[in-house]
Amino acid sequence: MSQLIVLGVQWGDEGKGKIIDFLTEFSNIVVRFQGGGNAGHTLIVDGEKTVLHLIPSGILHPKVISVIANGVVTDLKLLNEEINNLSKNDIIVNEENFKISYNTHLILPYHKMIDKYREEQRSDKIGTTQKGIGPAYEDKAARRGIRFQDFLDKERFDKLLKTNVDYYNFQFEHYFGKDKLDYDELVSQSDHLREFFLPFGEDTRLMLYNASLKGEIILLEGAQGSLLDIDHGTYPYVTSSNTTSGGAIIGTGYAEYSKTSVLGVFKAYATRVGEGPFPTELHDETGELIAKNGHEIGATTGRNRRVGWLDLVALKYAIRINGLTSLAITKLDVLSGIEKIKVAVAYKYQGKTLPSFTNNIEILNNIEPIYQSYDGWDNSLPLNTIRVYEDLPENAKKFIKALETMLEIPIEIVSVGPDRNETIVINNPFR
């Protein structure tokens, strides 16, 4: 196996960044393939915290090449800031260790503005991150998107930009009653960014293919989570990309199926940020305690995350739609001290057990989760000090084994704290 897709399999914020950073040690290339600056991947190494939005989580490893592939929507202004912030912390991003696909679509200021105006206007809000993600993917599908390769060619870019600025200004003025964008200002901002980004362009499809021929190890880094997938998530309360494993193939143009494994990352409980159904959501003190212990605040928007019990109906669905080969469980330490840990094992709707997870929002909002309870473990031995599976408290091991039995795939990694080294590897997916 020379390629690993690592995905969040709940509603995002599963702790993928940490798992990817950990696995990067065994990789040569780390690739983002969908989403954009809506992601917030928090990495902690030796107590030092780094939050990444666009740059792949591999960047902390100096010998690894980080790639933004075609499926990502890229905000170059945000990316420029992120690179500058990293360099302040002595993390160097240059054309040697960072590549941007010529085909990635750009997020431009009008995308962020319209994302915000629409959210303000909607009575039934999605709760987007307002990073312009949906509008940028819309432009891509409408074939008026501007790609990185267009941006690198000033003449082409300025022409495409003019058409789009006129199109959006009409809506800003006549539909939203807002100020118009100044085209000339956008051109000069873009000229400045072009100079900076010129060296980073790459045919990343070919690069990945050639790397694979040389036997290099490629890690594909998902953003958001499976239940936010535009096709398979809780539509319309989803993001605008395919967050599931198929998105990794489309989003890179690299399809080495026979060499690929798919690792799903899930939290020992569940969270959701933004609107939309959440069958196992907690509205009680236990939920508050988990939120507090788990520091459940969004890394991108600073919003409080909603918290609930682990949902195995949703997780089984995610295993199926992604073709997962194994799992990583994160934040097990957050459940320490909780006397009875619950997990949803079935859904009941109008007295009947549902056969599977559903995308029907009406049903999801009205189902009754059926829970199974597990005895918890106390705080006497801090879980984040444990490095070997056998040393975990008996009840924590029973909990993990019960999950594995019900989910029918192996749990290979157990994360017991936010730091890179607070990780128990039962089986390294790269070995």
Positions in the binding site for ligand IMP (CB under 6 A): 11-13, 38-40, 126-129, 131, 133-134, 223-224, 228, 237, 239-240, 273-274
Identify any residues that bridge with 32 across adjacent strands, giving them in sequence order. Answer: 68, 221
Sign of CA dihedral 272, 58, 26, 104: positive
404 phi, psi to nearest 5 deg: -60, -40
In 3-state terms, what secondary structure has residue 16? Answer: helix
CB of 270 to ligand IMP, least distance (A): 12
Which lies closer to ligand IMP via its Cβ, residue 58 or residue 225? 225
Which lies closer to ligand IMP via its Cβ, residue 107 or residue 338? 107
Which lies closer to ligand IMP via its Cβ, residue 2 or residue 66? 66
Which lies closer to ligand IMP via its Cβ, residue 101 or residue 128? 128
CB of 128 to ligand IMP, least distance (A): 4
Supply 13's token pair.
Answer: 């914020």
CB of 14 to ligand IMP, least distance (A): 9
Cα 367 to chain centroid distance, Å, stands at 27
Burial class (CB in 10 A: 0-12, 13-18, 19+), 380: exposed
Identify any residues that bridge with 307 across adjacent strands, giving them in sequence order. Answer: 271
Which lies closer to ligand IMP via its Cβ, residue 39 or residue 248? 39
Residue among 21, 41, 53, 75 flagged as catalytic? 41
Supply 174's token pair.
Answer: 């006549």
Nearest alpha carbon to residue 202 among 210, 212, 214: 210
In 3-state terms, what secondary structure has residue 382? Answer: coil
CB of 223 to ligand IMP, least distance (A): 6
The reply to whether 41 belongs to the active site is yes
Supply 55's token pair.
Answer: 């740059």
CA end-to-end distance (rounded Å), the chain: 8
Which lies closer to ligand IMP via its Cβ, residue 52 or residue 407? 52
**Residues 266, 330 contacting (CB under 8 angstroms):** yes
CB of 258 to ligand IMP, least distance (A): 30
Supply 389's token pair.
Answer: 């599976």
Which single residue brings its beta carbon nearest to ligand IMP?
A: 274
CB of 350 to ligand IMP, least distance (A): 27
The reply to whether 13 belongs to the active site is yes
Q: How far apart are CA 220 and CA 242, in angstroms?
A: 14
Q: How far apart are CA 221 and CA 392, in angstroms?
A: 28
CB of 238 to ligand IMP, least distance (A): 6
Which lies closer to ligand IMP via its Cβ, residue 119 or residue 158? 119
Q: How far apart are CA 11 and CA 265, in angstroms?
A: 11
Burial class (CB in 10 A: 0-12, 13-18, 19+), 123: exposed
Supply the residues annotated as catalytic: 13, 41
